[in-house]
């Protein structure tokens, strides 16, 4: 789901908890796994990051440009979720501003964590600067973060009244 979608669904008070697919989505195990994987990875932020790193040459030693791009888009993820939430909230409620306590804080944090895990999982990740780790660890971390975020979503996301 995009960061815009995370903000909009939070404002609409729709529960997108673990395993719930849209009405039109397939309900098979593979489809449910894909929905869980994509629930919190902010697609619009990922698209911007991929566009930017696509113009960079793959580094062999210095990942500083990739780090800058990752940090910029990491900072944009919560901004997009919150501003979209506020815009949707105000539209649905006649211009009323939401209280800070009403913000979808879990979804804001989840977007940041999911994007960071996604960046780590990339083959040309700036996280390679952190040291040597086996290739199988990248998708394992992404899958683990996805399972944890999806499980916690049901705990922290309120259901419609």
Lowest mean pLDDT among 23-27, 37-41, 70-74, 96-100: 23-27
Confidence label for 61 from pLDDT (cuts 50, 70 and 90): confident
pTM passes above 0.85: no
What percent of the chain shows pLDDT beyond 70?
A: 73
Q: Is residue 26 part of a domain?
A: yes
| Residue 88 near residue 11, CB atoms below 8 Å | yes
Does 32 map to a domain?
yes
Please indicate whether residue 39 or residue 30 has the higher confidence score (pLDDT): 39
Distance CA 78, CA 19 (A): 24
Q: pLDDT class for 21, splitting at 50, 70, 90?
A: very low
In a domain, 161, yes or no: no
Give the domain range for residue 123: 3-156
Judge whether 21 and 31 are in contact, CB under 8 Å: yes
Q: Is 19 left (phi over 0), alpha (psi -120 to 50) or beta?
A: left
Instruction: Categorise residue 43: left if φ over 0, alpha if ψ from -120 to 50, beta otherwise.
Output: alpha
Residue 41 has pLDDT above 90, yes or no: no
Q: Output the pLDDT for position 15.
A: 38
Q: How many domains does the chain have?
A: 1
DSSP-assigned letters across all residues of 107-142: HHHHHHHHHHHHHHHSTT-GGGGG----TTHHHHHH
Q: Does 68 map to a domain?
A: yes
What's the pLDDT at 155?
A: 86
Q: How far is CA 25 from each of CA 19, 22, 82, 111, rounded to the nearest angstrom? A: 11, 5, 26, 22
């Amino acid at each position: 789901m995009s960061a815009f979608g995370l903000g909009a669904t939070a404002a609409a008070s729709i529960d997108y908890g673990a395993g719930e697919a849209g009405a039109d989505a397939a309900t098979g195990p593979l489809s449910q796994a894909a929905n869980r994987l994509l629930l919190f990875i902010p697609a619009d932020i990922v698209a911007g990051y991929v566009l930017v790193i696509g113009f960079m040459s793959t580094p062999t030693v210095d990942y500083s440009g990739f780090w800058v791009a990752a940090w910029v888009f990491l900072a944009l993820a919560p901004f997009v979720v919150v501003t979209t939430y506020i815009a949707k909230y105000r539209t649905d409620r006649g211009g009323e501003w939401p209280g800070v306590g009403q913000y979808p804080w879990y979804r804001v944090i989840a977007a940041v964590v999911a994007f960071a895990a996604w960046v780590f999982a990339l083959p040309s990740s700036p996280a390679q600067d952190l040291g040597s780790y086996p290739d199988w660890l990248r998708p394992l971390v992404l899958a683990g973060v996805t399972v944890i975020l999806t499980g916690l979503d049901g705990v922290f996301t309120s259901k419609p009244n």
